[in-house]
A and B are shown apart, each in its own frame.
Chain A
Amino acid sequence: MKPSSFLAVCLLGAQLFGIARMPFVEDRFFCWSPHDSRTDFRILAYHNGSQVPEPLVQTRYRLPAIEWHNAGNVKQVIRTAELRQPPEQRWQVRVTYRINLGPEQVWHHPGSQ
């Protein structure tokens, strides 16, 4: 097999891996189905016991209030954004969200999955 074909097959293989891991994870990146649910959410962030103003929350995560993305993707964005901050600048995050306008759920970071 030519090197270019091998590279192309690797790209396809990576996608198959993304699809195969789908039943075991919550996010839906790289498996051709990120937009298959609607997530309505509100993010509250706290730093040193004080609530972080909403514009700062928006600056850090850049997520719309209604997201046509899987809830797992939204959580992964918040998780990644916090992990990339220096430890002293990390926030405690509380997300109330509804999937497909279903019952309200709560997710905390750090602290719960």
Chain B
Amino acid sequence: MSGAPLPVEIRSLAILVLAINAIRISGYGFERHLPMLAFLDSLGTPAQWDFALRSALFAGAAMSWFPRLTRIGAFLGGGALVLRILGNMPMFSNGILFSGLLLILISLYAPPHGWAILRAQCVILYAGAALSKCLDPDWLNGRFTAVMLDYHVPALAGTLRPLTPLAGILTIATEAAIAILLAIPRLRRFGIALSVLFHSFLLLLLKEDFGSFYYTVTLSAVLLFLSLPDVRAVAAPSPFWSSHSVFTGIRQAPLQKGAWAVEFPDFSLKDFPARLFLALSSLPVLGGVLGVAAMLGYLGRMKPRSAILAVIFAAGVFVWISSTTTTPKRG
């Protein structure tokens, strides 16, 4: 592993992804059954396997909070999640695999290619998903969408049935568009917004966060593709918001000082809604919202509450993105 310090966005991503998986995935257990690779069956008893992977994930989540140990924590936690996938073929999961690979790639981060590699992981995720659906006639004729709606939201399924062929094609187009937009530097912010809105829409419609997938994929889109200098420039008048005096005087504290908060020089009730949105766009609040959503989902399966939190999260990201003025400084 490289000794180069992790950029703050990547370190934040590691901490959040590990925390969310520790809350959300550890509840499912790390049962080993019919591993992808036969030799994994010979590594201890199933109980020892479960204990080792669970411990590695929790240890990794704890270590990630210490700057010098974040890489090792990401490797431990990511390795545990990837082994969870390799150790149980019947319970294969996209969400767990994505979290695991992302954490391992973070642990391997090294300039000058580190950013490009992590971003490529997100692009590959969407490209693979879009291509697979293109090859499946049931996605093109709407059959899968109809079946999914019947299962997840039977009350709405009848009403939405005429739209199912269009919904299937729109899903493919959206996933392909996200892959393309994220891959083109000057269009990245549209890719981020589309990704967050797409996954939040699915979460709201299906009332399902797919384990840790919703949180990991939206956090990755924001933290890997949105340049932090953009965040610091929230104070400057932007073309989008310049006509809204409500945003004047609001600025985000410099992140390098460790004060991840939005500063409000003066406060009035009239400005509250806009300021609430801006406050929600600060990194710790984003992390907190996601953490609470994950915890609610895990502890009580209170999906509507998780969904409300997710909408607030998406709104915050939207305002954050549309309030920025500078172009990304990294390639």
**How many of B's residues come within 8 Å of A, CB to CB?**
43
Alpha-carbon distance A18/B94, docked complex (angstroms) = 13
Alpha-carbon distance A73/B93, docked complex (angstroms) = 12
> Does A100 lie within 8 Å of B135, measured CB to CB?
no
> Does B124 lie within 8 Å of A80, measured CB to CB?
no
Alpha-carbon distance A19/B143, docked complex (angstroms) = 23
> Does A31 lie within 8 Å of B144, measured CB to CB?
no
Q: Give chain A's interface residue range (CB within 8 Å of chain B).
A: 35 or more
Main secondary structure of the interface of B (DSSP, over half): helix
> Does A32 lie within 8 Å of B1, measured CB to CB?
no
> Does B110 lie within 8 Å of A2, measured CB to CB?
yes
> Does B2 lie within 8 Å of A2, measured CB to CB?
yes
- For B117, the chain A residues whose CB sits under 8 A away are 5, 8-9, 12
Alpha-carbon distance A22/B38, docked complex (angstroms) = 23
Alpha-carbon distance A18/B129, docked complex (angstroms) = 12
> Does A76 lie within 8 Å of B128, measured CB to CB?
no
CB of A104, distance to nearest CB on chain B (Å): 15
Q: Which of B5-13, B62-70, B101-109 contacts A (4 or more CB under 8 A)?
A: B101-109
Q: Which of A44-52, A61-69, A88-96, A105-113 contacts B (4 or more CB under 8 A)?
A: A61-69
> Does A31 lie within 8 Å of B108, measured CB to CB?
no
> Does A36 lie within 8 Å of B132, measured CB to CB?
yes
- Encode A1-27 as 1/0 by CB contact (under 8 A) with B: 110110111011001101100110000
- Encode A68-99 as 1/0 by CB contact (under 8 A) with B: 01000100110011001000000000000001
Alpha-carbon distance A73/B124, docked complex (angstroms) = 21
Alpha-carbon distance A38/B120, docked complex (angstroms) = 29
> Does B144 lie within 8 Å of A76, measured CB to CB?
no
